[in-house]
Amino acid sequence: MKVEFANESLAIFILVMNIYFLYGSFNIIKTEGGPMGIALIGLPVFLFINLFIISATCTLFKKFESNKFLLFLNIIGTFGICLMIHLFTS
């Protein structure tokens, strides 16, 4: 498998899955963490996952698809997103 294909595939996955995490971050900020502010504990995790949008957009739009460092960041972001989805659904 070529580096370009893997990098672009992971970038698209990160961008699509971050729709959920962006909505969650916005909802936590809008409701100020809920009735007692407990959801504010999860906000740094959501924002950490949202940071991988930067590497994904650089991969797709800045023509850095063959950059191995961005591939490494996209792999870490994919594992983080999969872990968070697994924790939220179990």
69, 82, 83 from 87: Cα distances, Å: 27, 9, 6
The domain containing residue 28 runs over which residues? Answer: 3-89
Q: How many domains does the chain divide into?
A: 1
For residues 2 and 70, the answer to whether their CB atoms sit within 8 Å is: no
Percent of the chain with pLDDT over 70: 100
Q: Which of 34-38, 48-52, 54-58 is the least confident region?
A: 34-38
- Give per-residue pLDDT as tens, 60-80: 987 888 888 999 999 999 999
Mean predicted confidence (pLDDT) in 21-42: 88
**pLDDT at res. 15:** 95
**Whole-prediction pTM:** 0.85
